[in-house]
Amino acid sequence: MNYLSRNHSSLKLASAVVLSLTGWAFSIAASADDFNMQTVESKAQALVDAHYNPKPLPIPSFLKNLSPEQYSQIQDTTPLWQNQNTPFQAQFYLPGSWFHQPEIIREVINGKVRPIPFNLRGFSFGNLKVPADLPSDLGYAGFRLLAPLNTPPNYNEFISFLGATYFRAVGKHAVYGTSARGLGIDTAQPSGEIFPYFKEIWLEKPQAGAQDMVVYALMDSPVATGAYRFTIQTGDSTTVQVQATIYLRKPVKVLELAPLTSMYWHGHGRGITAGDWHPAQHDSSDLVMANGNGEWLTRPIDNPLQIQTTTYSMEHPVGFGLIQEDRDFSAYQGIETQYQRRPSVWVQPVGDWGKGQVRLVELPTNNRDMDNIDVFWVPDQEPAPKTPLHFAYNLRFFLDNHGLIPLAHPVGTYLGDDPKSAGARTVVIDFGSGALTKLPGNMPIKAHLTAENGAQILSQKLEWDAKNHFWRVIAVIQPQTASPSNVRCYLTLDKQVMTNTWTYLLHAAKE
């Protein structure tokens, strides 16, 4: 897995390895000569039979050597569709800093493809000293979309596509945080991760009054090609409907669908602070998963001492995502970073994804500017080379978690070392929201706590906070020194499950 700069920004398979998807039908009525998703799929199929040729872009040293902070000073000042009464506009990125892969970007007007001329004079370089011989045919490395979101009638950026197949989005009053990707391959594998990239982009010009923006992308890599259609809507939250067809050139070790990438440095007794004074610094606090059997799981994410990969087997998943639970400034104290405004991101499969795994990869970091968290879906089967795999899902970038999780759920996790027993850990789990907030403290709520892999639960108790309306589980657990323990906890009332299942990979305390 890579560390992406924060400054940027088992499937149910038929014999043809095609997902049976509810709603897998394009709303575009087009003639055979009009551009549509089938056009991009044909290109992806042709690519898989062709020799892989990435054609690296020669980038002037001035741009290539820019730091992320310097690169962010370069701004496109002449948006596409400006003053054309469209609900969306587009701006473009120059190649530079970490972003060297060129993209051919075109627009689609009434089904017809048109080029977007490159205009170097349309870019502002801030206080950078620009050499006089900067080429006038640099081309583009990515794009972002704008809409009158926060300050109408002015247009505000709400989604950005830059680097490999990365994109990230925000709704009203949010700031960029967790990113999504079109596809991941071999994350955290000894052979090294492979990064597909979008080599061609088509922006469908929206009609006046349109509620969504449509983007097509052609993906390429040494091991896979693909066609993508993104239907994007923005408002209080931003949603991205993803329809994709991928082809493998050859088998891969781990095929990763709907990957999310985020950052967790420290907070709430987890992670390595390295002397940082903030109470917390992270883009996401929890991985939440909804299994097809009705169980909801909450896994607090961590900044481990070593690379850590955890898998959760599921059937017919309802969804998964990275959640930022705490929305109070006081939890982070970051005037510049504004972590309380970083969006949660939820993946909702369209159609039946069958059997597979949600896989979480956590890498150690002491740097808030580097992504170290990756989560994705791994199907039980991957398609044979050159066989199309169709899949679809919806992504939602949002601030308000209300309505997502049907039950009460963990709203805080705190970890400490127990001074009385060498290697023992104190685990504190706060359950709130949902029906729990309406129950009095004298109700016979019961905590169900288990610890696997030879760990011992030395003590546990359940407390009620009458003022803030949450239930707190406090436990002392002694894991084995050699192996972490999978710990699970949930609450019931009269044998009825009242909460998500909290789960965590608990390591022994360092002596």
The CATH number of the domain holding residue 427 is 2.60.40.10
Is beta strand 355-362 parallel, antiparallel or unpaired with respect to 373-379?
Answer: antiparallel
Query: pLDDT tens digit string along 58-77?
Result: 899 999 999 999 999 999 99
Is beta strand 296-300 parallel, antiparallel or unpaired with respect to 501-506?
Answer: parallel
- Domain of residue 209 covers 37-398
pLDDT at residue number 142 = 97
Mean pLDDT of the chain: 91
Q: Which of the four pLDDT bands, split at 50, 70 and 90, describes residue 14?
A: very low
| Side-chain-facing half-sphere of 55: CA atoms under 13 Å | 8
137 and 224 share one domain: yes
Is the pLDDT score of 385 beyond 80?
Answer: yes
Angle, CA of 52, 53 and 57, to the nearest 5°: 150
Query: pLDDT tens digit string along 439-454?
Result: 888 899 999 999 999 9
Is beta strand 238-248 parallel, antiparallel or unpaired with respect to 224-233?
Answer: antiparallel
329 and 432 share one domain: no
Query: pLDDT tens digit string along 95-149?
Result: 999 998 889 999 999 999 999 999 999 999 999 999 999 998 899 999 999 999 9
Residue 404 lies in a domain: no
Q: What average pLDDT does the segment 207-235 reach?
A: 97
346 and 468 share one domain: no
300 and 432 share one domain: no
371 and 423 share one domain: no
Q: Which one of 398, 419, 441 terminates a domain?
A: 398
DSSP notation for 165-226: TEEEE--TT-----EEES-EESTT-TT--B--EEEEEEEEPPPTT-S-EEEEEEEE-SSEEE
Q: Which one of 398, 424, 445 terminates a domain?
A: 398
Distances (CA, A) of 432 to 180, 267, 400, 406, 496: 28, 19, 15, 12, 16
pLDDT at residue number 31 = 45
Task: Record the pTM.
Answer: 0.91
Q: Which of 288, 315, 224 is nearest to 11 (CA)?
A: 315
> Domain tally for the chain?
2
Residue 257 lies in a domain: yes
Q: Which of 445, 470, 467, 449 is nearest to 458 (CA)?
A: 449
333 and 444 share one domain: no
Q: What average pLDDT does the segment 29-41 reach?
A: 78
Residue 323 lies in a domain: yes
Residue 9 lies in a domain: no
The residue with tokens 């050499």 is: 131
The b-or-e profile of 461-497 (16+ CB within 10 A means b, else e) is: ebebeeeeebbbbbbbbbbeeeebbbbebbbeeeeeb
Q: Which of the four pLDDT bands, split at 50, 70 and 90, describes residue 19?
A: very low
Q: Which of the four pLDDT bands, split at 50, 70 and 90, describes residue 511?
A: low
**What gap in Å lies between CA 197 and CA 161, rounded to an integer?**
11
More confident residue, 474 or 136: 474
User: In the numeric block, which tokens belong to residue 113?
Assistant: 């493809």
384 and 494 share one domain: no
191 and 231 share one domain: yes
385 and 463 share one domain: no
394 and 420 share one domain: no
pLDDT at residue number 195 = 96
Whether the link from the prior residue into 222 is cis, omega within 30° of 0, is no
Share of the chain above pLDDT 90, in %: 83
Residue 25 lies in a domain: no
More confident residue, 502 or 467: 502
The 10 Å Cβ neighbour count of residue 112 is 10
Q: Which one of 368, 398, 428 terminates a domain?
A: 398
Residue 5 lies in a domain: no
Sheet holding 456-465, edge to edge: 409-417, 425-432, 470-478, 456-465
267 and 152 share one domain: yes
Q: What average pLDDT does the segment 427-437 reach?
A: 90
User: In the numeric block, which tokens belong to residue 454?
Assistant: 């030879």
Query: pLDDT tens digit string along 291-347?
Result: 999 999 999 999 998 999 999 999 999 999 999 999 999 999 999 999 999 999 999
User: In the numeric block, which tokens belong to residue 484?
Assistant: 């972490």
The CATH number of the domain holding residue 366 is 2.70.98.10
88 and 145 share one domain: yes
Q: What average pLDDT does the segment 9-35 reach?
A: 40
Residue 3 lies in a domain: no
Residue 23 lies in a domain: no
